[in-house]
Amino acid sequence: MQRDLFSAVVLFLLLTVATGIVYPGVVTGVAQIAFREPANGSLIVRDGKPIGSALIGQPFSDPKYFWSRPSATAPQPYNGLASSGSNQGPTNPALAAAVRERVEALRATDPGNDAPVPADLVTASASGLDPHISPAAAEYQLRRVARLRGLEEAKLRALVQQHTEGRQLGVLGEARVNVLPLNLALDALPR
């Protein structure tokens, strides 16, 4: 009995060291060497201060900026501690009302725009944290942003294209535009 207890304690200590110290240390070391930026949160830094992450969306409400996808997190949008979708199905009246309200808000800020509103501008992603919009969503907002900033649409379209990321490894996902870097580039344009 004592021998079995001793074996169990030794095994427990060995597994604790292996899975609680060695394995996390190796994974952290590999991540810091091979994937330094994502492992540290893909922070976007300006003037020595982190202003956001390329991995988590941020809300933009000023019409002179490109707007992000809606977020379903609570108590505030893009809350990384509450990552989740709304869990509302397509036939849910609350989702339909929220989408209708978002479409009306988009139309109110750009009354002459009668193009179809891209779905990603009025529906949250599965995580509620998505920092990207589709190129179609950026194009939908382009005229409004160009008008309010006094920019030529062609110049702004070129900026959007510079910030459009292709499919990962050429096959995974869809083309997308990260809203925070795009808006920061907008602010950096000479006036």
Lowest mean pLDDT among 14-28, 30-44, 147-161: 30-44
Mean pLDDT of 81-110: 88
- List helix spans (H) across 75-123: 93-109
Query: Residue 136: its pLDDT value, please?
Result: 97
Integer Cα distance of 145 and 62 in angstroms: 10
Mean pLDDT of the chain: 91
Query: Residue 18: its pLDDT value, please?
Result: 94
Instruction: Check whether 152 has a pLDDT greater than 80.
Output: yes
Mean pLDDT of 79-107: 87
Q: What is the pTM of this model?
A: 0.81
The three state secondary structure string of 135-154 is HHHHHHHHHHHHHHHCCCHH
Instruction: Check whether 27 has a pLDDT greater than 90.
Output: yes
3-state secondary structure of 43: strand
Mean pLDDT of 96-116: 93
Q: How far, in whole angstroms, is CA 172 from its chain's centroid?
A: 17
pLDDT digits (tens, 9 = 90+) for 50-86: 888 888 889 899 999 999 999 888 788 888 888 877 7
List beta partners, residue 45.
50
Residue with tokens 């709304």: 86
Task: For the beta carbon of residue 44, count every other beta carbon within 10 angstroms.
Answer: 17
